Amino acid sequence: MPDEVICPQHGRQGIGLVCTHIAHAVDSGKQVGFFWGDDTDTARPDAWCYGCEQALLAVPKGQPTDKWFLSCDYKIFCATCWDRAKWVLYEQRRTGSDG
């Protein structure tokens, strides 16, 4: 997987992965939730929606999460697009601000 992408809007950027549900909701503003991990191998951590969070919580402790990861159908976002997704789906809702 590349460490950088060339985003049509933001140019060369580091990457972050978002689940398919976030990728589709960020433009519509549909509130699907926004959770993220603590991984640091990319410019932004992996992020997933409420539905994917519930699926992750259903994985028994100590069991691999490979199937869960694949089911999230992650999409590559540039770091700035990832930040926008977090703003639209998490920060804006939490603060009640239009940004």
Rounded to two decimals, the pTM is: 0.89
Average pLDDT over residues 24-45: 91
Q: Above 90 in pLDDT, residue 99?
A: no
Average pLDDT over residues 58-84: 97
Contacts of 42 (CB under 8 A, 6+ apart): 3, 14, 15, 16, 17
Average pLDDT over residues 40-54: 95
